[in-house]
Structure 1
Amino acid sequence: MPHHSPLAGRLVTIFGGTGYIGNYVAQALLTRGARLRLASRAPGKAQGLKPLANLGQLQLMPCDITEEAHVAAALEGAEHVVNLVGAFTGDLGRLMGEAPGTIARLAAERSIASLVHVSAIGADAASPTAYARGKALGEERVLAAFPRATILRPSIVFGKDDNFINLFAGMIELLPVLPVFGAQAKLQLVYADDVAEAVAVALEHPETHGGKTYELGGPEQLTMMQIHEKIAAAQGRKRRFIAVPDGLSATFAALPGTPMSRDQWTLLKPGSTVAPGALGLADLGIEARPLGLFLDKWMLRYRKHGRFGAANERAKVRRA
């Protein structure tokens, strides 16, 4: 990170800034001295960021991005914009397709210096999933209205408090035998802090990164089976994993109340990896960090006897 960021003292509006990735993006920008306006349907979710900000550095604003008047109010006085809004339920074409276009159009009218739109690997107008179609429409609408926008397409994002690694970690802690859906699907998991850094770098340097699309993935490709095995090993647990056939997986995902929706299963099946030749984190000057760098530490709370159990295991190794 540069000693003095071009974002220092500048107002950045972050749509969807109270979500999971938004928390990391906000911290990356606060560290750079930016002033933040987090525009979200649930601004109260960002209360935990207040102790990290200086007086007057953070503003929380209720906002429905499908309402143009709300978007216009959130952009008032802003010099940079980030859109992080994403969902798997609701009118996804409107929320992730049309609304980002409105953000981009209003940003262009206000001569906003830089706009970063966070999409997803797998965005595809021809996809059978509403999610991927919505993301593709959002990219199209954003670039049509604001050609200098930077599009970031992350793979599945992992972090200490995510709903991906921790979902499987909780099941592995409790169950001796577990089904694995999409066992051979390859994922290029990307660290949340690396995604946040990508957003910040793109905002800082629109002259270099504007108008470009970057696919964000970590330094390794892991299958779903390998991810489960790594989590179990980090917990110090022996588990049996059973690869579930695709047909059964699809049926399970279609049932109500399951942890994976039909769209999520359809997106998981082909995997989520950076396309060959695509611009990536390295082109933003960021060295991607692997899951293994953090997993042992994060799994301490899932181990038998927690940290004390880990100490006992190390003592056994020394005595052997």
Structure 2
Amino acid sequence: MNTERVGTGRLVTVFGGSGFVGRHVVRALALQGWRVRVACRRPDLAFHLQPLGGPGQIAMVQANVRNPESLAAALRGAEAAVNLVGILAEGGKQSFSAVQARGARAVAEACKNAGISNLVHISAIGADPHSASAYARAKAEGEAAVLQTVPEAVILRPSVIFGPEDDFFNRFGTMARFFPAVPVVGAATRFQPVYVGDVARTVALALSGQTKKGAIYELGGPEVKSFESLVEYVLAVTERDRRVAKLSFSTGKLVAAISSLLTGLSLGLYPKLLRMTGDQVELLKYDNIVSNEAKAEGRTLEGLGITPETIEAIAPTYLYRYRKTGQYQDQRS
């Protein structure tokens, strides 16, 4: 099947499309010719997406996964849907259970009621109903709810996602600017960072029918690296002479408790850069890499014919700004 313009004239609703991953997914779908309806809580903050498509091709509507009526309205007239809604830390009504479990079920039920079976749901490697992490349990519960409600749905589980606006490499680049040491919990934990553009391309392929219905795909880049080596890479690219401070999981738990306390006492004003939660520490106890089962069954980027981008090909294009003199660093005599 030719997927170049497979979506021409057809409408897809992208829930949570205004975020980091969302803008790349919206662009990939617009290039395929889809009319894209971006459904998010604050559509007034998503107008930066409109230049990614032609005149009238991308529109924004208000929707909240806790409001079934808004989900139904966002899907009206659509032929396909993508659910990108997710959070990395809880706050207020935005709990893992509410957003990534019940929210995923609500989107799937709205799709079922609208007669939409072409649904792509973004989860995460590490989703596990028996995990000690509430994040991982909620992700697994969301996956189960989606497949139970829309059996033809496609689940995508990426490892940590990187790209120009990521909250991974940019976080450590920023820390290297201000601190003499960069703390790392779970230094030996392995990751398989995947480029956001490759994730977006996979979403587009799934909507065009190039993936197995009802399957769970695991998305990872070509390199498996320890957490410590990834931070050291950031320090090398940004040319910052900093020490990597390796913290034990017990110390990480203590730091997370203090961070959560200060965040609450400051009414949310405690710097996001310094925040850490106990749940994040739990996640760092386990490798975040593509499973051997997914590789054997072709449920990977390579299995879909995608050659994943390397960290070295992408990360330096945006990490340069953390050098002492930014893009002019190489011109210094």
Q: Which residue of 1 aligns with 2:268?
A: none
Matched, 1:261 2:277: yes
Q: Which residue of 2 aligns with 1:318?
A: none
| From 238, 241, 245, the counterpart of 1:242 | 245
Q: Which residue of 2 aligns with 1:211?
A: 214
RMSD, aligned CA: 1.7
Contact between 2:80 and 2:207, CA under 8 Å: does it hold in 1?
yes
Secondary structure class of the residue paired with 1:23? helix
Report how many aligned residue pairs link the two structures: 312
5+ long unaligned stretches in structure 2: 264-273
Q: Distance in 2 between matches of 1:68 and 1:197?
A: 29
The within-5 A match list for 1:75-224 is 75-87=75-87, 88-89=89-90, 90-205=94-209, 208-224=211-227
Comparing 153-162 with 91-100, greater Cα deviation is found at 91-100
Q: Distance in 2 between matches of 1:3 and 1:84?
A: 22
Which amino acid is the alignment partner of residue 253 of structure 1? A
Secondary structure class of the residue paired with 2:65? coil
What is the Cα deviation at residue 291 of structure 1?
1.1
Contact between 2:190 and 2:226, CA under 8 Å: does it hold in 1?
yes
5+ long unaligned stretches in structure 1: 316-320
Give the direction of change, closer, same or farther, for the CA distance of 1:223–1:68 in structure 2 (3 Å limit).
Answer: same
Q: Which residue of 1 aligns with 2:320?
A: 300
Secondary structure class of the residue paired with 1:288? coil
Which amino acid is the alignment partner of residue 312 of structure 2? G
| From 286, 289, 293, the counterpart of 2:309 | 289
Contact between 1:5 and 1:204, CA under 8 Å: does it hold in 2?
no
Contact between 1:75 and 1:107, CA under 8 Å: does it hold in 2?
yes
Secondary structure class of the residue paired with 2:293? coil
What is the Cα deviation at residue 163 of structure 1?
1.4
Q: Distance in 2 between matches of 1:113 and 1:127?
A: 29
> Could you give the per-residue CA deviations for residues 95-127 of structure 1, whole angstroms, max 9, x where no partner exists?
211222232233233332511011111111112
Secondary structure class of the residue paired with 2:286? coil
Q: Distance in 2 between matches of 1:3 and 1:107?
A: 23
Q: Distance in 1 between matches of 2:108 and 2:242?
A: 48
Relative to the length of structure 1, the TM-score reads: 0.92
Comparing 103-112 with 264-273, greater Cα deviation is found at 103-112
> Could you give the per-residue CA deviations for residues 140-173 of structure 1, whole angstroms, max 9, x where no partner exists?
1111111110000011111111111111001112
Q: Distance in 2 between matches of 1:56 and 1:307?
A: 36
Q: Distance in 2 between matches of 1:182 and 1:28?
A: 34
Q: Distance in 2 between matches of 1:233 and 1:61?
A: 42
Secondary structure class of the residue paired with 2:37? strand
Identity %: 39
Which amino acid is the alignment partner of residue 134 of structure 1? A
